[in-house]
Structure formats: C-alpha cells, structure tokens
Amino acid sequence: MDYIVDMRQITKKFGSFIANNSIDFNLMSGETHALVGENGAGKTTLMRMLYGQYQPTSGEIYIKGNKESYNISRALSLGIGMVHQNFMQIPDMSVLENIILGHAPIKNSFIDYKAAKDKVQRLLDRFNMKISLSKPIGSLSVGERQKIEIIKTLYLGANILILDEPTAVLTPQESDELFNIIEELKAEGKSVIFISHKLKEVITVADRITVLRHGKVSANYLKGEVTETDIARAMIGKKEVALFQNQSRGKLEDLVCKFEKLRFIDDDGVPKLRDLSFDIRAGEILGIGGVEGNGQTELLNSIIGMNYLSSGKIILDGKNITNLSIAERRKLGVGYVSEDRMTTGLALQADIGDNVISGIEDDFTSYTFLNKRKIDEFTAKLIEDFDIRGIEEGNPVSNLSGGNMQKIVLAREISRKPKLLLASQPTRGLDIGAINFVRKILLEEKEKGTAILLISANLEELMSLSDRMIILYEGRIAGEITSYDIENKLVSEADIGLMMGGISERKDGENDTNIQS
Amino acid sequence: MIQTYKAKLHDKNQLFQLLGPVFSIIIAFIVAGLVVWATGGDPIEAYTVLAKGAFGSLSGIKNTIRYTIPIIMLGISFAICSKCGYFNIGQEGQMYAAAIAVAAVQRIFGDLPMVPLMFIMIIAAILAGGIICIIPAIFKFLFNVNEVITAMLINYIILLFTNYLLLYSPIAEVGKSTAMSIRISPVISGSLLLIVSIIIILVYGLIMKRTTPGYRLKIVGYNQRFAKASGINTIRLILIVAFLGGAFSGISVAGEMFGVYHKVYNGFVENLGFYGMTAALIGSKSTLGLVLGALILGSLQSGAVTLSVMTDVPSELVLVVQGFVMLFATINIMQYFTKTLDKKGVE
C-alpha cells in the first residue's frame, strides 16, 4: 500500500526515559488518522518527530516513499504542517499578517499584500469561512483562531496536517464545524492526523485509530469497528473503565451559601452577571453549565473575592461575606480549585511544600520561623492521601504532569476543610485516570457535607456529578435542572444546548426568552 | 537507584547555582583583562595591583569594607523588591531624597545632641527613601504604569530638585552653595558599623529564607495571581516591600553621610545604585552571593586608587571590569547550563 507517511520502528529516548518505543505509524493520503492516548503516552513526542522538532533515536521516517531525515523548516517543504494546541499567533497583528508571517509573497522587495490576500481569501472561500482578514487576530473567538491556524498550514502548502488536541478549547458547535473542515480537507486529498483524548470525537472523525500507551502502540482500529469503551481500555490498559457517578442525589441538607442578586459590571461597562440569585446546600454539587464567557469566571471570581460585585450579596453560613478579602473568605471556609492551575492554581517554580501551605503559612511556624519539619510532614501526608506521584523533594511542581498538578491543588483546598468548594473545570486537560480520581475526590467531599459549586464545559461531567444544575447565559440563569430531572433523564443534552444558547425552558413554565442586552 | 541518581543531578544543579555568580565574575575579569591586554597593558600586573590595593594593607581592607557596606545595603534594597517581582531601579533618586532629608534634619534639629540627632536623621532617611520608592508602586497599581519608567523619571526629578535645593533653598549653606553639610562626624567606629551591617545581612537572609513574610514575598514573586488567590494581600505586600527597598537606600546614604562625606553635593552617590543592583543580580539565588558580589565591586573601587598610582593602566579599568561583571551577572551563564541539564523533553 502507498503510505504518504510511514514511520517505522520509531524509538525516542530522553536520557534513560523511553518516550516512544518502536512505534509503527502510517498515514494514507486522504485519510484521518487519530492518535489517542493518555497524557504522557508519547503522542506529542511522536508527532514532534514527524514535524521535525525532534530527531528519532532510532527508526526511519518515509515521506511519500522516500526516506527522510529533517528539521522543522524542511518538514514544511515536505508538506507537513502542525496546528499546535497553544496557537502560535501574535494577537495584535491582523489575521492576514498572522497567516503570511514568515512566508509572505514578495514583489519588488516589498510584501505583496494583494497577492497574499487573494491567496488567503481563496482558501477561506473554499472552506466557507467568513472571517475578516484585517481584524486583529486577538479579537477573534478561540474557534475562529483555530480555523486560522489550519488556513495558515494550508497557505504554507501542507498536505499532511497534524492537529494537536484541536477541540480542547472549542464548544460543541465549534467542534462540529472543525469536523466539517476536516471532511473537506479529506475530500481534497489531504491527510489529517488528529490527536485527542475525547473518545467520542475520535470515533466520529477518524478513519483509523492508533492508541498509544506508555510509549507503545497498544491498539489499532478501523472506523466503525470499535466502541468508546474499547479505546478507553486500550488507553489505560484496564478491563473496566467506569467513571464515577453521583449516586446520592436529592438529599436536602442545611443551606450553606446564599447568593442574592449578584451583579457584576466589568471594566468596559459590560454587565457580566445580571441579578443572579441561587443557593447551595451542604452535601450538594451544584453544576454550573453554559458556553464559556457567559459569566462563569466572573461568578467564581466574585465568590472567592478576586473581584468585587457591583451589587448583590453573598451569605455564607449566615455571614455576609460580600465585602470580605480573599483571606477572610478562605478562613470562613471557601475553597477554590481554579480553572487555570498553571496561573492561579499553583506557583509552578515553587516546590510542593510551598504550594500547599500558601495562605495558611502562619500555621507552620514555631517561634516565628517556618518549621520545615511541620511542612514536610503535612506535605508527605497530602502526597500519600491524594496519591500524588513524581514528587522530587525541593523540585518545582512544573515538572509534574497535569493530573498530579491538579491533585496538589485539590489536596491543598480539601485539606483546609472548606464549607463551600468552588471547582472550575477541575478535569480540563486531564487523562481518564486523573479525571476519575478528581471525580472521586469531589464525590467524597460531597459525602462529607461540603457544598460544591462545579463549573464545567463538559456536559457529561456536569450531568454525572451534579445534584442540580443551572445553565448560565449572558450572566443570567437560562435554565435550572433539578436532581429529579437529572436522575430520570428528563432533560436531554439538546435541551441543555438550547438553554446554553439563551433559549430558556424552565420547568415552572416561566419562560424568559427575550433577554435584553 | 534512579532516585539516588536524580538526587545527585539535583545537587549538581544546586552546586551550579551556587557557583554561577563566581563564574560570572571570573568571566568578567577575563574579558576585562583582554581589554587591558589589547590596549597594551599587562592584565596580570593590573589585577595584582588591584588586589594588593584592596586587600594588601589594613587601610586597604578598611577601604574595601567602606565601599562594600553601602553596596550591600543597596543590594538588599534591590533584591528585596525583585523577590516579589518589583523592579526597584530608582535607588539613586531615593538616595538623594534621603540625603536631602538628612540635611534638612540638620537644619531644623541641629541643636540637639549627637545621638538623638543621628537617630532622627536615620529615621528621616528611611522615610524619604521609602516614600520615593513607594511612589512608582502606587502608580503601578493605580494607573498600570511600569515601575521602571516611573522610577527613572522620578530619578531625574529628584536629581534636578536636589540641584535646585543646593543652590537656592534655605537648607543650603549661604556662601558654600554647592553643598549642604551636616555636623555629624564618625562617632561610631568602623568595626561597629561592620557588625551592624553583618547583623542586618544575617537578619535579612533569615527573614527571606525562614519566615512567613519571606515566604509570602517568594510566592508573590513566583506567581502573583496564585498568591492573590491563596489569600495573600499582594498589593499591600508589594507596597510594604517597596517602602523597605527605599528604606535600605536611605540607610545606605545615611551611612555614607555620617561616615564619609558629611555633606550633600551634586553627584555624590553617582552609580552606587547600579552597583547595588549588580550585587543583587550576582546574589539572585542567595544572600551570600549578594555579599560576595558587593565585596568584589567594593574591592574594585578601593583598589582603583592604587591602580592608577602604581601602573600605567588607567583606573578606568575598574569601570570596565564593573561593567562586565554587571553584564555577565545579568546574563547568568550558569543558568543556561543548568537549564539544559534540567531539560525534559517528555510531554
């Protein structure tokens, strides 16, 4: 068979660590080949070798039948383009400038913008994209920016596209659009390598699926002959994969926190929260759904105290905490698992000890000096309780995997015995094993009587964990889903999708579809 | 087995980090030596004379200490601010402000006995330096202006304002309009000053490494958003630290005035701020490094005098060496090596 890419017996070692162990991977023209695996399984390493960023320790790469050994710039001329997970874009430059950056057509030693524009516009038209080329790229939505990245690789003449977790930051609708684009690319005879750990997508999109585990190929599948469970098993190498589910919905316990008419107007004068009122009880997981940017971040920041409300009241355990500082709120029992563990969740250059005592460092002193033994004992206990792996004493936590970083964040917050735990996107970017661990921890906390406010973009997660859900749209509640509805599956994902779009269908019959802007 | 190997690698990194500043300094000397050699001088002779001048005699050593102490204070002034991510480049302005404050105290409370007078002067110097240093921080939080720009501009304002005061103000001395002098003569011995300085350094090092304020500073420096989210009042902390940074500039100038100059004149502490910054950069990982850096810069200054007397090499060589030390301390070559050792390619 004719492979456009044929990687044979690829091995890549970093020191004594084997990231890729004799991997065979190939790609035919006009096919979508999905590469699946947990974080650290070696997907990105393999692709970086294909993209010329790394050189294999041993093994051979054949492109269109010729044996090649190359670096990144040569990879481009071989027609290999990669769309990175973190876009390589300059926000203040226009869309056009970003696309032609470094490869602009030159006429009379000046950039030929007209030719560039024509060429890019043709590409956009071909994929039915309506994006203004003169806008600064930073003003586009994440989905649009991703499309631009794809256009860029096509502009550079790529016919082998590597998409590194392209849907990680997209809404379901945006993902669908991306899949359409992939179909069109295929129709044109381009080949796509699709890296992901969202199994559902993989099954829909890919013609072939290769599963990596611990740097080795653990399974190969063809389209249509595999289920999500098969892939999941191949990924984590266990027989049973059942994600934890909330098993005790609908218990009514004491009120923990009451939110009254929360209103927040941002620096540009845009109201982000519009008279939002709800409450949360002990032992309850309240799921907050909605498309990102509909007030979730502002809500969270207002509760933890990162910003102050324009009006409204937050009453925790009968105490008005609306105007308290972050430290005071934390002392009263607010815990916070940030959506962004890299910036708000952890100090990456600090070691685990420094990370877990932050905010309660005064408890670890004896005679005004920090007591290293106390800190070490505390840290060791958390490492054991939360099964945090890969810790080397005194080393920065930035060396750890995403799952272990998140465990540190959870360990810190939960060790402080919060009454109200704010968990924002707690499983984002984690592999199945870590996701399940986080779920388990949250459910255990619920059993202990902690009120948990769970914000997630993942509907499946919200549905399986929440006792009750509210859907936000433009800073308001666009829909409320009771535990009874969840338990008896009375709402479908489509219903929720409508609510996320601002079309409210409350069970009490009170519809308010016309939300003013 | 793997664990022990990793531990070893880790130790090696730490060793590199400790040796880093020494390495920067050595390279600076070699490069500056090449410059001397290229201009027809004998670098080895020049360095020998420099070393002899700085450490060869009791007076030389005293001189070296005299130059080193203010650099240490200024180093702390820079280091404490940079620990929490605040770039204190306005030390010269802070020093002039403190000097003016000391001179003003002399004018107003000049009749007081020596000890209380000195005490008030030190307080005034601390307040003046601190307030000047806190202004850019306030601007940063209120208007989101970069503190470096504000501090640089404030430096000019203060420098020119000092000139104006020296010429026209009531605290200037009629007849001797280029200087403001103070009555204080060194009543404290050099060794006492040395001991006080050592105590300050030790306390500073201890606070930074082993106490909660030091811990908070470190965390704010690592990641301000994280610090804020964990409940540390970052704005208050940075304002306090900015004040302390300015206070150390003030202390250094008070020492200079009490012990050496006994007056303020135009340009009397020129470049000192940069030496302090260099020392702090050399010692970015440890307080010991800071002291070492200050000692090198101080000894260069004290050796400079003998250099021009004993050899044909102009004393400006010292400036060249200082420049290179500054350059290489900023680059921190060793960091590059440790980074490559550290690198992990696994995703």
- Nearest chain B residue to A337 by CA distance is B229
Cα dihedral sign, B241-B242-B247-B248: positive
- Chains A and B form CB pairs within 8 A to the count of 93
What tokens appear for A326 in the block?
């972050």
- Nearest chain A residue to B229 by CA distance is A344
Cα–Cα distance for residue pair A509/B137, rounded to 1 Å: 54
Check CB contact of B231 with chain A, cutoff 8 Å.
yes
State the average pLDDT over residues A77-96.
85
Q: Which of B229, B344, B346 faces A336 most closely, judged by CB atoms?
A: B229
Q: Which of A358, A370, A395 faces B230 most closely, judged by CB atoms?
A: A358
Q: Which residues of A touch B218 (CB under 8 A)?
A: 350, 354
Check CB contact of B226 with chain A, cutoff 8 Å.
yes
| A265-279, A477-491, B208-222, B333-347: least confidently modelled range | B333-347
Question: Which amino acid is residue A445, in one-letter code?
Answer: E
Q: What is the pLDDT of residue B40?
A: 81
**B-proximal residues of A, 295-324, CB under 8 Å:** 304, 306
Q: Cβ(A305)–Cβ(A324) under 8 Å? A: yes
Q: Cβ(A215)–Cβ(A20) under 8 Å? A: yes
Q: Which of A326, A331, A346 faces B228 most closely, judged by CB atoms?
A: A326
ipTM of the complex: 0.77
Please report, to the nearest 10 degrees, the dihedral formed by the alpha carbons of residues A77, A80, A81, A85 taken in order. Answer: -140
Q: Cβ(B135)–Cβ(B154) under 8 Å? A: yes
Q: What is the pLDDT of residue A239?
A: 52
- Secondary element (H or E) of residue A164: strand A160-164
Q: How does pLDDT run across A285-328, given as a tens digit for each residue?
A: 999 988 777 888 889 999 999 888 999 999 999 899 999 999 99
Please report, to the nearest 10 degrees, the dihedral formed by the alpha carbons of residues B84, B89, B95, B97 taken in order. Answer: -90
Q: Which of A336, A343, A392 faces B223 most closely, judged by CB atoms?
A: A343
- Nearest chain B residue to A332 by CA distance is B231
From first to last of the 347 residues of chain B, give the pLDDT tens digit: 344 444 545 555 566 666 777 787 888 889 988 988 888 878 888 888 888 888 888 888 888 888 899 999 999 999 999 888 888 989 999 999 999 898 888 888 888 888 888 889 999 999 999 999 999 999 999 998 898 999 999 999 998 888 888 877 766 665 555 566 666 665 566 677 778 888 999 999 899 888 999 999 999 989 888 999 998 999 999 999 999 999 999 999 988 888 788 778 777 887 888 889 888 888 777 788 888 889 988 998 888 878 878 777 777 778 888 888 888 877 765 555 555 444 433 33
Q: What is the pLDDT of residue A511?
A: 44
Q: What is the pLDDT of residue A508?
A: 45
Give the phi and the psi of residue A420 in degrees, each rounded to 5.
-125, 115
Q: How does pLDDT run across A209-222, given as a tens digit for each residue?
A: 999 888 889 888 98
Which of A303, A352, A369, A395 should we substitute to test contact with B (largest number of B Cβ atoms within 10 Å)? A369
Contact between A350 and B219 using a beta-carbon 8 Å cutoff: yes
Rg over CA atoms, chain B? 22
Does residue A409 surpass a pLDDT of 60?
yes
Quote the mean pLDDT of chain A: 85
Q: What is the pLDDT of residue A349?
A: 87
Nearest of A87, A17, A4, A100 to residue A50 by alpha carbon:
A4
What tokens appear for B235 in the block?
């704005």
Q: Cβ(B135)–Cβ(B107) under 8 Å? A: no
Cα–Cα distance for residue pair A473/B160, rounded to 1 Å: 57
State the average pLDDT over residues A434-462.
89
Q: What is the pLDDT of residue A92?
A: 86
Q: Cβ(A317)–Cβ(A334) under 8 Å? A: no
Q: Cβ(B95)–Cβ(B252) under 8 Å? A: yes
| A224-228, A232-236, A352-356, A426-430: least confidently modelled range | A232-236
Q: What is the pLDDT of residue A238?
A: 60
Q: What is the pLDDT of residue B282?
A: 82
Cα–Cα distance for residue pair A157/B31, rounded to 1 Å: 48
State the average pLDDT over residues A232-236.
77
Domains in chain B, ordered, with CATH? 2-342 (1.10.3470)
Cα–Cα distance for residue pair A229/A242, rounded to 1 Å: 9
SS3 state at A278: strand
Q: What is the pLDDT of residue A161?
A: 92
Residue range(s) of every CATH 3.40.50.300 domain in chain A: 5-236, 244-333+417-517
State the average pLDDT over residues A1-20.
83
Check CB contact of B339 with chain A, cutoff 8 Å.
no
Q: Cβ(A170)–Cβ(A140) under 8 Å? A: no
Task: Give me the CATH code for the A5-236 domain, please.
Answer: 3.40.50.300
How many CA atoms does the CB half-sphere of B92 hold within 13 Å? 24
Q: What is the pLDDT of residue B153?
A: 93
Q: What is the pLDDT of residue B135?
A: 94
Distance from CA of A62 to the nearest CA of B (A): 23
Locate all alpha helices (DSSP H) within A32-137, ordered by sequence.
43-50, 72-77, 95-100, 113-126
Topology of domain A244-333+417-517, per CATH?
Rossmann fold (3.40.50)
Q: Cβ(A420)–Cβ(A451) under 8 Å? A: yes
Alpha carbon A119 to chain centroid, angstroms: 33
Check CB contact of A268 with chain B, cutoff 8 Å.
no
Distance from CA of A206 to the nearest CA of B (A): 23
pTM: 0.73
Does residue A20 surpass a pLDDT of 80?
yes
Contact between B232 and A16 using a beta-carbon 8 Å cutoff: no
State the average pLDDT over residues A464-474.
89
SS (H, E, C) chain B: CHHHHHHHHHHHHHHHHHHHHHHHHHHHHHHHHHHHHHCCCCHHHHHHHHHHHHHCCHHHHHHHHHHHHHHHHHHHHHHHHHHCCCCCCCHHHHHHHHHHHHHHHHHHHCCCCHHHHHHHHHHHHHHHHHHHHHHHHHHHHHHCCCHHHHHHHHHHHHHHHHHHHHHHCCCCCCCCCCEEECCCCCCCCHHHHHHHHHHHHHHHHHHHHHEHHHHHHHHHHHCHHHHHHCCCCHHHHHHHHHHHHHHHHHHHHHHHHHHHHCEEECCCCCCHHHHHHHHHHHCCCCHHHHHHHHHHHHHHHHHHHHHHHHCCCCCCHHHHHHHHHHHHHHHCHHHHHHHHHHCCCCC
Check CB contact of B218 with chain A, cutoff 8 Å.
yes
Does residue A509 surpass a pLDDT of 60?
no
Q: How does pLDDT run across A368-383, given as a tens digit for each residue?
A: 888 889 999 999 999 9
Does residue A335 surpass a pLDDT of 80?
yes
Check CB contact of A33 with chain B, cutoff 8 Å.
no
Q: How does pLDDT run across A151-195, given as a tens digit for each residue?
A: 898 898 888 999 988 877 677 777 888 888 889 888 888 999 998
Q: What is the pLDDT of residue B227?
A: 92
Q: Cβ(A62)–Cβ(A6) under 8 Å? A: yes
> A114 or A38, which is more confident?
A114
Contact between B346 and A368 using a beta-carbon 8 Å cutoff: no
Check CB contact of B142 with chain A, cutoff 8 Å.
no
Contact between B222 and A368 using a beta-carbon 8 Å cutoff: no
**A-proximal residues of B, 36-65, CB under 8 Å:** none
Q: Which residues of A touch B344 (CB under 8 A)?
A: 14, 399
Q: How does pLDDT run across A418-445, given as a tens digit for each residue?
A: 999 999 989 887 877 888 899 999 999 9
Which of A12, A165, A326, A339 should we substitute to test contact with B (largest number of B Cβ atoms within 10 Å)? A326
